[in-house]
């Protein structure tokens, strides 16, 4: 092969200009380019998604947009995108409540709530009403009630009036007929109201309002006489071993006399009423004098014995009142005056609360 170095060199000295080929066919047929085959698309079994429109590529645009106020999604504290448990239906809740373990838990929870409520009520009620002291006055039985009624009707034959004590506290009423109780006054109050309504009905004067009038008037007189007794003790500066509940019990025994007088009025008219009321008043006054005398004239020495049902007294007594260790002559006179005051006011209140219920003739004969 011959090499000519001056082939492309201009004779003048510069490089020779390359020739322009005008006929492409003179250059020969070009070699064909290899065919390009598009590889098959990788499919994992998902549905083929058509390509997005040119203006939507890379941007997710909602075709339907509702700009009105929509309801909350209801996640209730759960993050969006996580699966949420379906709400239980009423049938599922009902079946769950019938499960033994759920019933036991509900029963235990209810009993705990009931115990807490009972304790709260007892605690708040104990601040105003002495519940432990009230239990003492209602500790009675049938034998005590019968013996107490006989004592109220026939007190003249009774000899022993001293209240028995167990160490420093008096025994319960069921063990001592001389002990005061609140069962007979409470039952006497209810019986009086019902008997008053019955007698008004026999006299054609009954109305539903009369029951409430009789009950409220009797309760008002109880409160009035209790306030009157306490104010009298306070004004006269008389210190005694008599407690407020004792006064309430002794002032409630007049209902036995009132009921007996009204029963006599039903059978014998006004004559029987006044005869029974006269005897009942004498018996009641005798009973009160004999019973209260031991509580009043004993002085405040028993008040120093702190029992479970007694009220608490101040540690330092009033220096201007009678001595707390021994009742003086002036204190004894004031106690005697108070004793007579109670013994006189009880029969008067018995007459005042019953005289308007007495018929002119025997009510049983009039009803026939």
Instruction: Write out pLDDT tens, residues 102-126.
Output: 777 888 888 888 888 888 777 776 6
- What does the pLDDT read at residue 103? 75
Taking residues 180-205, what's their average pLDDT?
92
Compute CA 234 distance to the chain's CA centroid, rounded to the nearest angstrom. 35
Higher confidence at residue 302 or residue 243? Answer: 243
- What does the pLDDT read at residue 99? 73
- What does the pLDDT read at residue 359? 85
Compute CA 326 distance to the chain's CA centroid, rounded to the nearest angstrom. 46
Concatenated DSSP letters of 114-133: HHHHHHHHHHHHHTTS-HHH
Window from 14-28, 110-124, 255-269 with minimum mean pLDDT = 14-28
- What does the pLDDT read at residue 133? 79
Window from 178-182, 258-262, 333-337 with minimum mean pLDDT = 333-337
Task: Give tens-digit pLDDT for 308-319.
Answer: 334 344 444 443
| Whether the predicted pLDDT of 299 surpasses 90 | no
Check if the beta carbon of residue 231 is closer than 8 Å to that of residue 164.
Answer: no
- What does the pLDDT read at residue 310? 41
| Whether the predicted pLDDT of 327 surpasses 60 | no
Phi/psi for 344 (5° steps) reads -90, -40
169 sits in which H/E element: strand 169-170
Which range in 86-95, 96-105, 255-264 is most confidently predicted, on average pLDDT? 255-264
Tokens at 161, concatenated: 């009036």
Cβ partners under 8 Å of residue 153, min gap 6: 256, 260, 280, 283
9 forms bridges with which residues in the sheet? Answer: 15
Taking residues 136-154, what's their average pLDDT?
93
**Mean pLDDT estimate for the chain:** 75
Task: Give tens-digit pLDDT for 219-240.
Answer: 999 999 999 999 998 888 887 8
140 sits in which H/E element: none
Q: Dmax over Cα atoms in the chain, in whole Å?
A: 179
Taking CA 79 as the corner, what is the angle to CA 74 and CA 82, rounded to the nearest 5 degrees?
Answer: 95
- What does the pLDDT read at residue 31? 56
pLDDT band at 253 (very low <50, low <70, confident <90, very high): very high
Check if the beta carbon of residue 158 is closer than 8 Å to that of residue 283.
Answer: no
Domain spans, the chain: 98-128, 144-300+329-355
């Amino acid at each position: 092969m011959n090499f000519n170095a001056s082939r492309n060199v201009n004779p003048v000295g510069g490089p020779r200009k390359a020739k322009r080929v005008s006929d492409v066919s003179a250059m020969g047929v070009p070699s064909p380019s290899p065919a390009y085959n598009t590889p098959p698309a990788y499919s994992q079994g998902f549905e083929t998604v058509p390509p997005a429109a040119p203006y939507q590529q890379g941007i997710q645009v909602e075709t339907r947009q509702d700009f009105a106020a929509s309801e909350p999604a209801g996640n209730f504290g759960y993050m969006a995108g996580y699966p949420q448990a379906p709400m239980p239906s009423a049938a599922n809740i009902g079946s769950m409540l019938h499960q033994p373990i759920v019933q036991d838990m509900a029963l235990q929870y209810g009993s705990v709530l009931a115990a807490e409520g009972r304790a709260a009520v007892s605690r708040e009620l104990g601040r105003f009403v002495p519940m432990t002291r009230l239990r003492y006055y209602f500790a009675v039985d049938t034998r005590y009630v019968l013996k107490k009624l006989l004592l109220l009707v026939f007190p003249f034959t009774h000899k022993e009036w001293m209240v028995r004590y167990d160490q420093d506290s008096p025994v319960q009423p069921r063990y001592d007929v001389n002990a005061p109780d609140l069962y007979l006054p409470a039952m006497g109050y209810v019986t009086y109201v019902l008997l008053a309504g019955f007698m008004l009905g026999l006299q054609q004067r009954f109305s539903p309002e009369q029951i409430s009038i009789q009950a409220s008037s009797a309760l008002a007189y109880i409160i009035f006489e209790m306030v009157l007794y306490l104010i009298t003790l306070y004004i006269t500066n008389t210190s005694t071993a008599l407690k407020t509940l004792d006064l309430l019990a002794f002032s409630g025994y007049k209902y036995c006399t009132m009921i007996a007088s009204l029963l006599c009025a039903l059978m014998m008219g006004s004559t029987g009423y006044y005869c029974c009321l006269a005897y009942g008043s004498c018996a009641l006054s005798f009973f009160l004098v004999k019973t209260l005398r031991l509580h009043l004239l004993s002085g405040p020495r028993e008040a120093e014995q702190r029992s479970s049902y007694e009220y608490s007294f101040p540690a330092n007594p009033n220096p201007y009142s009678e001595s707390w260790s021994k009742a003086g002559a002036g204190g004894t006179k004031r106690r005697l005056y108070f004793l007579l005051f109670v013994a006189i006011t009880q029969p008067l209140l018995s007459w005042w609360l019953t005289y308007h219920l007495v018929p002119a003739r025997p009510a049983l004969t009039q009803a026939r």
